Chains A and B, each alone.
Chain A
């Protein structure tokens, strides 16, 4: 039996973009793409891709389909999960998706997942590094009426169920969930693998399966935001650091301790 795994992945601005290059166009309330810094696949979503690949490594017969919803996809970026070892890339690529909120994203994802056919597991990263919302995957479990387990750091397939470790503040819970279920994956799972040359070659030959909103029977009117962005801006920092001075670095250390004592902090 092939286990069909859907992994949700989002294209985001590189979170490692230096703060000096992070700029906002306040007239459109959007981030100005920094020169020469291509977007990346949200890091936590790569953890979810890795989780799916680990299931394959354990010997299971799996088909891994990566799905994404958006516009202006950069193919070199979006093919990274394929290069890591995922089988298929399904994109809903439509300029009508530029200004939707996460409720809209969930509607589109639910539609494309249902169009794609049967599935056994849906995995998503614990949170996206652009809007820092963490609820598209959670919302999808509600809309599809599936069991949900958040913050999964380890998973193991056992026939028609999956054994999970879910991170809690000082340890983890063990959980058994049926198939199909929706899981959010956290970075405690381990670093996503680097694509090898063979993977990159294979990915370069694969074509994404692309849908528009109308292919899914949806229109922009179905996706009117209920969370309306009013203003996006970079907060001003008014903090002034007090640099500790001294004869040499050893002296800095001593002066720091004395300064903290003076402020009654230690």
Chain B
């Protein structure tokens, strides 16, 4: 038996999020897996039918923990100490990355972030994770108990399987004081569709040469009912706000069509868009890495390509 603790996260509708459902599928794929899901916060009713052995709720984590995670780290540490799982899985969110790493150092365990594949045989547990910005893959054996990992979103497909887990509450009995405290939240207004939810994303990179061309990309995104993305180079140059950044350190998107304009396709960027159904590359440089990743490509000047593309899209969607 391999006992696995999976720390769930909720989405904006307070439902179990997609990354968690994917992680459940990944965990159930391990040999002799017995999976417990820990839910931080109020458990939605759908938790009662998850395809796992047991659901544990940690409801006492207060709002002040948002972004600081001291209470969540303490609660999950206690839960790990009292249930001794062999593997602890988090999603690769900020929450998972921070709490997972802190838990690992608190319990002298190994931590592997952003895994795309996990497997076990006997007592051995192995993971594969992209390194060097995705240019290479590394396989690790984890020699610690527990092994603590975060799983990249989209690495596994969520399954529709359901189950009837036992459900219990866990009280760590610990209340931590927060040395650092959140004093406020500032929402930056967003126009149109959320980048992460968009079915079409039109992204621009260094090849655009300046901020102005993003208005053309916005026009195209609007015509498609999609959102505008950007490479880190374009954001760091100040051409567009960082909230549009797609990539390893930006947002992960998975639209039907990802149109990369003037983007060279560095692996750090591709890490944020590689789960798109189709990637379209428009770039003057035929040797750009983006053409190795794209399904459709145009070698040419975006200034000449986009107007006719936009006009035809409008005709087709009229």
Contact = CB atoms under 8 A, between A and B. Distances in A.
Interface in A236-258: 237, 239, 241-244, 248-254, 256-258
6 contacts: A13-B132, A131-B138, A175-B182, A187-B249, A233-B137, A266-B256
A254 B298 CA distance: 11
Given A226-B144, A256-B280, A103 B105 contact: yes
Interface string B134-176: 0111111111100000000000000000000000000000000
Contact of A130 (B100, B131, B180, B251): B131
Interface stretch (B19-27, B44-52, B80-88, B286-294): B286-294
A244 B296 contact: yes
Interface string B275-316: 001101100000001011111111111001111111111001
Given A148-B98, A235-B136, A239-B293, 13 more contacts: A103-B110, A138-B102, A139-B104, A147-B180, A148-B180, A167-B242, A187-B235, A230-B139, A239-B294, A243-B298, A253-B298, A253-B308, A258-B316
Interface of B: 66-68, 70, 94, 97-98, 100-102, 104-106, 108-114, 126, 129-133, 135-144, 178-188, 190, 196, 200, 224, 232, 235-236, 242-243, 248-249, 251, 256-257, 266-268, 277-278, 280-281, 289, 291-301, 304-313, 316-317
Contact of A139 (B102, B179, B196, B291): B102
Interface stretch (A84-92, A176-184, A196-204, A209-217): A176-184
A226 B236 contact: no
A108 interface: no
Nearest to A192: B236
Given A244-B297, A250-B305, A135 B104 contact: yes
A112 interface: no
Given A22-B132, A132-B113, A175 B183 contact: yes
Interface residues of A, number: 85
Interface of A: 13, 15-16, 19, 22, 24, 29, 31, 44, 101-103, 106, 126-127, 129-135, 138-139, 141-143, 147-151, 164-178, 181, 186-188, 191, 225-235, 237, 239, 241-244, 248-254, 256-261, 263, 265-266
